[in-house]
Amino acid sequence: MRSAEDRPTPTVAAPRAATPRPPMSPWRFVMAFGVVSLLMDYVYEGARSITGPLLAHLGASAAVVGAVTGAGEAAALGLRLLSGPLADRSRRFWSWTVAGYALTAVTVPVLGLPGALWAACALVVAERVGKAVRSPAKDTLLSHATATTGRGRGFAVHEAMDQVGALLGPLTVAGILALTGDDYAPALGVLALPGAAALALLVRLRARVPDPVAYETSDSDEEPAPDGIAAVTSPNPGLPRAFWVYAAFTAMTLVGFATFGVLSYHLVVRHLVPTAAVPVLYAAAMAADAFAALATGWLYDRHGARVLAVLPLLSAAVALLAFTDTVWIVVLGALVWGAAVGVQESTLRATVADLVPPGRRATAYGFFAGIMGATALAGGALTGALYDVSIPVLITTVAVVQVTALALLWATRTPRH
Q: Which tens digit of pLDDT belongs to each residue from 301-315? A: 888 888 889 999 999
Q: Residues 100-152: pLDDT tens digits? A: 999 999 999 999 887 788 998 899 889 989 998 999 999 999 999 988 888 88
C-alpha to C-alpha distance for 14 and 356, rounded to whole angstroms:
14
Q: Residues 366-407: pLDDT tens digits? A: 888 888 878 877 777 788 788 888 889 989 999 999 999 988
pLDDT band for position 260 (cuts 50, 70, 90): confident
Q: Residues 16-29: pLDDT tens digits? A: 445 567 788 999 99
The type of residue at 171 is L
Does residue 3 register a pLDDT over 80?
A: no
pTM of the model: 0.72
What end-to-end distance do the CA atoms of the chain give, in Å? 25
- Contact status, residue 311 vs residue 344, Cβ threshold 8 Å: yes
pLDDT band for position 217 (cuts 50, 70, 90): low
**Nearby residues of 202 by Cβ (< 8 Å), 6 or more positions away:** 36, 97, 98, 101
What Å distances lie between residue 169 and 14, 83, 234, 276, 406, CA to CA? 40, 27, 44, 17, 36
One DSSP character per residue, 36-62 reads: HHHHHHHHHHHHHTTHHHHHHHTT--H
Does residue 237 register a pLDDT over 70?
A: no
pLDDT band for position 270 (cuts 50, 70, 90): confident
Does residue 186 register a pLDDT over 50?
A: yes
pLDDT band for position 205 (cuts 50, 70, 90): very high
Per-residue pLDDT, 63: 66
- Contact status, residue 219 vs residue 1, Cβ threshold 8 Å: yes
Mean pLDDT check: name the lowest of 148-157, 235-244, 382-391: 235-244
Return the closest-CA partner of residue 356 out of 136, 93, 122.
136
pLDDT (mean) for 229-257:
74
Return the closest-CA partner of residue 29 out of 147, 169, 187.
147
Per-residue pLDDT, 95: 95
The type of residue at 176 is I
Strand boundaries in 96-239, DSSP class E = none
Q: What is the mean pLDDT of the chain?
A: 82
Per-residue pLDDT, 335: 94
Per-residue pLDDT, 218: 45
Per-residue pLDDT, 261: 67
| Helix, strand, or coil (residue 251) | helix
Does residue 156 register a pLDDT over 60?
A: yes
Mean pLDDT check: name the lowest of 88-92, 158-162, 222-226: 222-226
**Nearby residues of 255 by Cβ (< 8 Å), 6 or more positions away:** 375, 378, 379, 382, 401
Taking each helix axis as running N to C, give the angle between helix 277-303 and helix 260-269, from 0 to 180 degrees, rounded to the nearest 10: 140
Does residue 199 register a pLDDT over 80?
A: yes
Q: Residues 332-369: pLDDT tens digits? A: 998 999 899 889 888 888 888 888 888 889 999 988 88
C-alpha to C-alpha distance for 374 and 397, rounded to whole angstroms:
19
**Nearby residues of 103 by Cβ (< 8 Å), 6 or more positions away:** 126, 127, 129, 130, 133
pLDDT band for position 233 (cuts 50, 70, 90): very low
Does residue 285 register a pLDDT over 80?
A: yes
- Contact status, residue 88 vs residue 361, Cβ threshold 8 Å: yes
C-alpha to C-alpha distance for 293 and 358, rounded to whole angstroms:
23
C-alpha to C-alpha distance for 254 and 315, rounded to whole angstroms:
8
C-alpha to C-alpha distance for 155 and 160, rounded to whole angstroms:
9
Does residue 42 register a pLDDT over 80?
A: yes
Q: How is residue 74 annotated by DSSP?
A: H
Per-residue pLDDT, 34: 93
Length of the chain counted residue by residue? 417
pLDDT (mean) for 218-228:
46
Quote the Cα angle for 164-170-173, to 5°: 130
CA torsion sign for 128, 130, 132, 134 is: negative
Per-residue pLDDT, 258: 80
Q: Residues 311-343, buried b or exposed e (16+ Cβ, 10 A)? A: bbebbbbbbebbbbeeeeebbbbbbbbbbbbbb
pLDDT band for position 245 (cuts 50, 70, 90): confident
Domains and CATH numbers, the chain: 26-209 (1.20.1250.20), 241-411 (1.20.1250.20)
